[in-house]
Amino acid sequence: MKEKIKVGIIGSAGYTGGETLRLLLNHPYVEVAFVQSRSQAGKPVTSTHTDLLGETDLLYSADFNPAVDVLFLCMSHGESKKLLDEHIFPAATRIIDLGNDFRLNNKTGDREFVYGLPEYQREKITAAKNVANPGCFATTIQLGLLPLAKAGILKEVHTTGITGSTGAGQKLQDTTHFTWRANNISAYKTLTHQHLGEIYQTLKALQPGFSEAVHFVPWRGDFTRGIFVTSLVTTALSLEAIIKLYEDYYAPHPFTHVIRETIDLKQVVNTNKCLINLEKVGDKLAIHSITDNLLKGASGQAVQNMNLMFGLEETEGLRLKGTAF
């Protein structure tokens, strides 16, 4: 049996903190050393994450113990860099940041962060001391485009995606309130979404010279979790050739699957999977990609990255069943 990895979670009262804790409590090679939350200090973890009743007796702590093997930072954007600038952690402590602080500006002090999309650069993550977890929309869009970029044939992209209310975080906002969200849908951050930067960064690294635009329109959906993205590109390749390209690219990756049948969101909710379906009419290729925004788009991918960083089987603690019905 492998030695237990001691982990700490900072900012653990929100959605991603709760999902990260849920996964780690059931991980065979992990010991949760502490869960920190300034707002909930002293209270049982189950006072906010009621789904964990019977799973843990942990209390939220106000402070954190830096002497752990790995820290998961589940804080608001901007807070991770502030924390690392103000506190010194042992060099041996690895850090996985679920915010956007180091996805583009990948260094603070002596710590350099590797962009944590395993299907893009698994080997670099395996050797990394610090990982910047990708954004949820960024993950779902990129997984739909990586094989084309790797083949050097990606052209201008028109993409739209719909996400559940948990993608906006736990803090109540007008657009996450039930009475607004129910039976409603809206576009937001049209063509300006913050995840575009990391998407361009990856595509240009895979396909040097890529200078085409990625036009992205995100939508708010009337459901709690999951992301459904459709990207439209132009290509002369046949559908069968494209499917083979995708199947070959994702063959070594356990969580991303190319599906020939129609896909739907419930197939991936509560899992770390990404499902991809391809359709083609004329020279237009439609790439459908779906994920759970809180798992493959956040906490699940963070645990996947931890597994790679510590030499564990990539799927440890992540064999989860989708809701499906």
Q: Are residues 172 and 85 in the same domain?
A: no
Q: Give the confidence band of 172 by pLDDT, cuts at 50, 70, 90.
A: low
Query: What is the C-alpha to C-alpha distance for residues 210 and 2, in angstroms, rounded to an integer?
Result: 43
pLDDT 10s digits, 198-247: 999 999 999 999 999 999 999 999 999 999 999 999 999 999 999 999 99
CA torsion sign for 269, 271, 273, 277 is negative
Phi, psi of 25 (to 5 degrees): -60, -25
More confident residue, 167 or 166: 166
153 and 279 share a domain?
yes
What is the tens place of the pLDDT at every residue in 262-299? 999 999 999 999 999 999 999 999 999 999 999 999 99
Between 25-29, 64-68, 78-82, 171-175, the lowest mean confidence (pLDDT) is in 171-175
pLDDT at position 302 over 80: yes
- According to DSSP, the residues that pair with 8 across neighbouring strands are 34, 71
Q: Within a domain: residue 159? A: yes
pTM listed for this prediction: 0.95
Q: Backbone phi, then psi, for 204, in 5-degree steps?
A: -70, -30
Confidence of residue 176 (pLDDT cuts 50, 70, 90): confident
Domain extent, residue 214, equals 136-291
Q: Does residue 12 register a pLDDT over 50?
A: yes
Q: What single string gives the DSSP state of each residue in 74-89?
A: ---TTHHHHHHHH---
What is the pLDDT at residue 127?
Answer: 98
Residues 97, 158, single domain; the answer is: no
- Marked catalytic residue, from 5, 23, 68, 136: 136
Indicate if 114 and 47 belong to the same structural domain.
Answer: yes
Q: How confident is the model at residue 174 (pLDDT cuts 50, 70, 90)?
A: low
274 tagged catalytic: no
In a domain? residue 321? no
Whether 189 is covered by a domain: the verdict is yes
Same-domain pairing of 65 and 78: yes
Looking at the structure, tell me whether residues 144 and 129 fall in a common domain: no
66 occurs within a structural domain? yes
For β-strands 94-97 and 30-36, DSSP reports them as unpaired
Report the number of distinct structural domains present in the chain.
Answer: 2
Please give the backbone phi and psi of residue 101, each rounded to the nearest 5 degrees, phi first: -65, -30
Q: Is residue 316 part of a domain?
A: no
Q: Would you say residue 319 lies in a domain?
A: no
Asked whether residue 325 is assigned to any structural domain, the reply reads no
Torsion from C-alpha of 320, 49, 139, 160, nearest 10 degrees:
110
Q: Which pLDDT belongs to residue 169?
A: 59
Q: Determine the Cα–Cα distance for residues 147 and 201; give it in Å rounded to an integer.
A: 15
Note the pLDDT of residue 1: 43
**CATH of residue 181:** 3.30.360.10
Give yes or no: residues 12 and 66 share one domain: yes
55 and 146, same domain (yes or no): no
150 plus 270 within the same structural domain: yes
- Both 162 and 286 in a single domain? yes
Q: What per-residue confidence (pLDDT) applies to 170?
A: 60
Verify that 117 and 226 share a domain, yes or no.
no
Q: Is 100 part of any domain?
A: yes
Q: What is the CATH number of the domain that holds 46?
A: 3.40.50.720
> Do 149 and 279 sit in the same domain of this protein?
yes
Q: How far is CA 133 from CA 144, 172, 263, in A?
A: 18, 24, 25
pLDDT of residue 2: 67
User: What confidence score (pLDDT) does residue 171 get?
Assistant: 63
